[in-house]
Structure 1
Amino acid sequence: MFNNKGFGVLEKSLDGLNKRHQVLSNNISNVDTPGYKRQDVSFKDEMAKALGGESKLNTTNTRHISVGASDLNEVKPQVHTIDSTNVRNDENNVNIDAEMSKLSQNTLEYQTVSQKLASQFQRLDSVIQKGGR
């Protein structure tokens, strides 16, 4: 019912979403800085790989145990600079409307994951309380 991986996925998701919030806020605060290049955070693909069916071990039989591609502890949000687009003449490529939209989406995702984590803890607390009776 409760597995450490579930809590780990939620924890890593919150870490990645928090880092993305910081980066998006930084982009918004630098909207008028000449030459500033927007940044973004990628972590969802790495999480999918860590949770996916890729295996470090070669299985030759369907009854063999498959080991995940990587440990969740190895998943870290990666900040990357996007300098392939120029929005304005001053070489700044931050589009305030796009950044605000991404920030809103990120906030909603963070709230959703936080609520999911809170419900996991409530369920765990309920099991502990009822288990003692």
Structure 2
Amino acid sequence: MWNGIFTGTSIPLLASVADFTEVRHTVLAGNLANLDTPGYQAMDLPVEDFRAHLRKALAERNTVPFSSPGDRAYYLGARPPDWSSHKRPFVRHDGNDVSVEEQVSEMVKNQMLHNTALTIMASQFRLLLTAISERV
């Protein structure tokens, strides 16, 4: 019964976004931590792949129960082959390609997405609480 209440809302989708952004933040912070590591290549999670997975999950939502595309076990496990580690436009003399400006910019965008998902999720929970308590 409770499962149906939550799957009928955007809560599972928002939880997936929150999970994804949390793990991506860890990856981006790792890039900054390795700023002075010779030969380190910056990594990132493929945001477009995640968005495509969400679109597919939403399209199939009416026929298949929603499964979380932001599965933490997937993102926290051994480095999956689809993590992007593409060549950056510049490489320093030590082979490191981490750009502080790029990493901080991505972290800010990621944090904004995370905060937005949590804000909307909190609103959804307040709506459910109002409905359950039968008070306006």
Structures share fold, TM-score greater than 0.5: yes
Quote the offset at 1:72 in angstroms.
2.4
Q: Given the superposition, is the C-alpha separation of residues 17 and 119 from structure 1 closer, same or farther in structure 2, using an over 3 Å criterion?
A: same
* Unaligned runs of at least 5 residues, structure 2: none
Flag as ranges the 4+ runs of structure 1 deviating above 4 A. Answer: none
Q: Given the superposition, is the C-alpha separation of residues 114 and 74 from structure 1 closer, same or farther in structure 2, using an over 3 Å criterion?
A: closer
Residues 77-116 of structure 1 mapped to structure 2, 5 A cutoff:
78=75, 80-85=83-88, 86-116=90-120
Q: How many percent identity over aligned positions? A: 27
Distance 2:55 2:41 in 1: 28
Normalised TM-score (structure 1): 0.75
How many residues are paired up?
118
The RMSD of aligned alpha carbons is: 2.5
Larger-Rg structure: 1
Q: Which has the higher strand share?
A: 1
Asked whether the equivalents of residues 28 and 94 of structure 1 are also in contact (C-alpha less than 8 Å), the reply is yes
Q: Which has the higher helix share?
A: 2
* Unaligned runs of at least 5 residues, structure 1: 54-65
Structure number with higher relative contact order (C-alpha < 8 Å, ≥ 6 residues apart):
2
Aligned position for 2:36: 32
Residues 53-92 of structure 1 mapped to structure 2, 5 A cutoff:
67=63, 71-73=66-68, 76=71, 78=75, 80-85=83-88, 86-92=90-96
Quote the offset at 1:81 in angstroms.
4.1
